[in-house]
Amino acid sequence: MWAASCLASCCAACACEACRSAVGSIGRRSARIAYCGLFALSLIFSWILREVAAPLMESLPWINRFHKTPDKEWFQTDAVLRVSLGNFLFFTILAVLMVGIKNQKDPRDRLHHGGWMAKIFCWCVVIFLMFFVPNGVVSFYESISKFGSGLFLLVQVVLLLDFVHGWNDNWVSKDEHFWYMALLVVSLVCYIATFTFSGFLFHWFTPSGHDCGLNTFFIVLTLILVFVFAMVALHPKVNGSLLPASVISFYCIYICYSALASEPRDYACNNLHKHSKAISTGSMTIGLLTTVLSVVYSAIRAGSSTTLLSSPGSPRASTDKPLLPFNKIEEQDKKEESAAVSYSYSFFYLIFSLATMYSAMLLTGWSSSVSESGKLVDVGWPSVWVRIVTGWATAALFIWSLIAPILFPDREF
């Protein structure tokens, strides 16, 4: 017994020391990825609680204060929202604390890159405390999360524009016939996928025998925007490329699909209600995957970019200065020795805050809230309009990224 106790103590001490060493080894560059790991951990924790925490949540008197106990789904949603609220507060507080940092000599710079044991402890405490806040606070957070999710979708668009323009510039800069053909092939594949997908949208969301004018309007308007993207990109004054236009076109048709799929299951024009379980699971999986990719990409790009809204032909878009060049490690190390910070810490944390809201909406299905009586309330239409407006904003941002350098040639974008 004594030997077993000693062995357990040694194992615990070794584990603590290993964690301390791992946390202490997080440097300036790896700190960005560490924040991504913390965000991923919150997603895993939310997913686990969604599956197993309902009985425990139901037994807590300050949470289950209803005359009639709600369904299991409500407690699953509430658990996810409380974890999300704690995660949101953690990153938002850090974003506020980091406002105005200009150089690495600022004492707050150490907080951003170091102090990981304290930050992880505070993160755990904040999430734990969220399970003691009133239901009204969680309900309010759920409401504002829908708008925060829309903002994060716009951030995804900006990151997508940055990625696609960089992708296009990289292949064009090679100035070889093979890469030009590759650009053409990828563009054609994206357009074929876009128009094929649009055909399925007409089949799924405009069934015969029903008045589905609103759904038809959404799909037709998205297709009109697809043609506008191509026309603007190929205009002689723009001197753009079909690759960004084709990728954004496919993204817009996907946003249109996700919006229409979010319509209430009892809506006659939503012909996917027969497969609602499979569709919701697939949409959630794709949404979580794109969320994680967006957060990781923003971290790799160090939370900002000078080419986010630049057109392919603009001077900024053609510059070969990524904020985190993996193939130039030594050059990056020299840059980090300089006094000026290379990106906005506040914007970096803000992305995580918005991503937390969006992931909570995905995990809860955008579909349930609670009223004073404890009954589930359908909120499908708000999620529909959030995504539709996001698609329109995507179109506006992309067109602006192409024409802004022409309208204002003396300004940098």
pLDDT in tens, 15-42: 343 344 444 444 555 777 888 888 888 8
Token duo for residue 206: 């405009």
Give start and end residues of each alpha helix (H) in 174-241. 177-205, 213-233
Give the model's confidence band at 208: pLDDT under 50 very low, under 70 low, under 90 confident, else very high. Answer: confident
Give the model's confidence band at 122: pLDDT under 50 very low, under 70 low, under 90 confident, else very high. Answer: very high
Average predicted confidence (pLDDT) for the chain: 75
pLDDT at 86 over 90: yes
Q: Which residues pair with 370 in a beta bridge?
A: 376
* Cβ atoms 53, 76 nearer than 8 A: yes
Could you give the CA distance from residue 394 to residue 311 in angstroms, rounded to a whole number?
15
What are 60-76's pLDDT values in tens digits?
888 777 777 777 777 88
Rounded to the nearest 5°, which phi and psi values hold at 376? Answer: -75, 140
pLDDT at 371 over 50: no
Give the model's confidence band at 312: pLDDT under 50 very low, under 70 low, under 90 confident, else very high. Answer: very low
210 DSSP assignment: S
Supply the pLDDT for residue 320. 44
Supply the pLDDT for residue 3. 42
Supply the pLDDT for residue 266. 74
Residue 279, Cβ neighbours under 10 Å: how many?
A: 18
Q: Can you tell me the mean pLDDT for 372-401? A: 72
DSSP SS3 for 362: helix
* Phi/psi-derived region of residue 374, left when phi > 0, alpha when psi is between -120 and 50, beta in every other case: left
Sign of the CA dihedral with 83 first, then 86, 92, and 94 last: negative
pLDDT at 145 over 80: yes
Which residues are CB-neighbours of 299 under 8 A, at least 6 positions away? Answer: 32, 33, 35, 36, 348
Q: Which residues pair with 103 in a beta bridge?
A: 340
Burial of 200 (0-12, 13-18, 19+ CB in 10 A): exposed
Give the model's confidence band at 1: pLDDT under 50 very low, under 70 low, under 90 confident, else very high. Answer: very low
Least trusted range by pLDDT, from 116-125, 132-141, 333-342, 395-404: 333-342
Supply the pLDDT for residue 128. 92
Could you give the CA distance from residue 105 to residue 147 in angstroms, rounded to a whole number?
36
The most confident of the ranges 82-96, 338-352, 374-388 is: 82-96
pLDDT at 288 over 80: no
Supply the pLDDT for residue 283. 59
71 DSSP assignment: P
Considering only residues 6 and 393, tell me which one the structure prediction assigns the higher pLDDT. 393
Q: Which helix (H) or strand (E) holds 369?
A: strand 369-370
Which residues are CB-neighbours of 190 under 8 A, at least 6 positions away? Answer: 243, 246, 247, 249, 250
Least trusted range by pLDDT, from 11-20, 34-43, 115-124: 11-20
Which residues are CB-neighbours of 97 under 8 A, at least 6 positions away? Answer: 108, 111
Supply the pLDDT for residue 124. 93
What is the DSSP secondary-structure string of 133-183? S-HHHHHHHHHHHHHHHHHHHHHHHHHHHHHHHHHHHHHHHT--HHHHHHH
pLDDT at 4 over 70: no
Percent of the chain with pLDDT over 70: 72
Least trusted range by pLDDT, from 6-20, 28-42, 266-280, 335-349: 6-20
pLDDT at 200 over 80: yes
Considering only residues 254 and 365, tell me which one the structure prediction assigns the higher pLDDT. 254
pLDDT at 216 over 70: yes
Percent of the chain with pLDDT over 90: 19
* Cβ atoms 184, 242 nearer than 8 A: yes
Give the model's confidence band at 319: pLDDT under 50 very low, under 70 low, under 90 confident, else very high. Answer: very low
Could you give the CA distance from residue 51 to residue 11 in angstroms, rounded to a whole number?
31
* Cβ atoms 359, 352 nearer than 8 A: no
Token duo for residue 387: 């995504």
Give the model's confidence band at 90: pLDDT under 50 very low, under 70 low, under 90 confident, else very high. Answer: very high
Supply the pLDDT for residue 382. 73
Amino acid identity of 54?
Answer: A
pLDDT at 351 over 90: no
